[in-house]
A = this chain, B = another copy of it.
């Protein structure tokens, strides 16, 4: 299996072989990787080489080590979130806030922890929302879980001038969520823009989302714009990279 004449270090070759087996489904999510001893026998390399190979796969997020139990193939299962339909007026009218729509279409049990506060708009937030620096902003800080596992952090900011006196300032915003309440308050939504990036989590984010080593996060900023052209909400989301897949559809013309 290992080609000593190739320029590639042995641990890279072993990692390549194991990765192929994982991607081909020969090892399945939740399966335990063969023990170090077995892998040493299989590939005829040293224990150190096996450790380096497994370390590489851990860094790539393909396997995770459970202390005292062994190394396991990580589940690739993702939450599909189709941006357009989950944020549609039809979904809002049916009483589904976006995350509940995700839960329904992906068949998981959702839970949301909400923390609400009021802060003064920073220069950047003021610019995005088209309000004055220092103006009051309502902040909804959320940790969203699927089947008890935190998978998304979301921080929404809205001008207080819009949210004062509405259920948006309550923990439970009611059927259809914040966007339904915004539309009831006369801010009919026209479109959303989302920017998507990827980076490694900070230690706080990794701990809140219980991310294993080698798991990046998707960073999404959504801005909701009403029919007057006003930005009424900016939502900064951080999603577990091993759990989410974002889906977008757009016309070709």
Let me know if B193 and A251 touch, CB within 8 A: no
Given B200, B244, B252, which contacts A59 in the complex, CB threshold below 8 Å? Answer: B200
The closest CB in chain B to the CB of A223 belongs to: B249
A19 interface contact, C-beta 8 A: yes
Stretch from A26-34, A135-143, A162-170, A184-192 contacting the other chain: A184-192
With a cutoff of 8 Å between Cβ atoms, the chain B residues found around residue A128 in the complex are none
The answer to whether B83 touches A253, judged by C-beta atoms less than 8 angstroms apart, is: no
State the oligomeric state as a number of copies: 2
Interface of A toward B, CB cutoff 8 Å: 12, 15, 19, 56, 59-61, 78, 80, 83-84, 87-89, 179, 189-203, 214-218, 224, 241-242, 244-253
**B252→A250 contact, CB < 8 A:** no
Residues of B within 8 Å of A246, CB to CB, are 195-197
Q: Is the CB of B83 within 8 A of A250?
A: yes
Q: Is B252 a contact of A199 with CB atoms below 8 Å? A: no
Nearest B residue to A240, CB-CB? B198
* Residues on B with beta carbons closer than 8 Å to the beta carbon of A192: 249-252
Taking CB atoms, residues of chain B closer than 8 Å to A88 are 252-253
Which residues of the other chain, B, contact A193 by a CB distance below 8 angstroms? 247-249
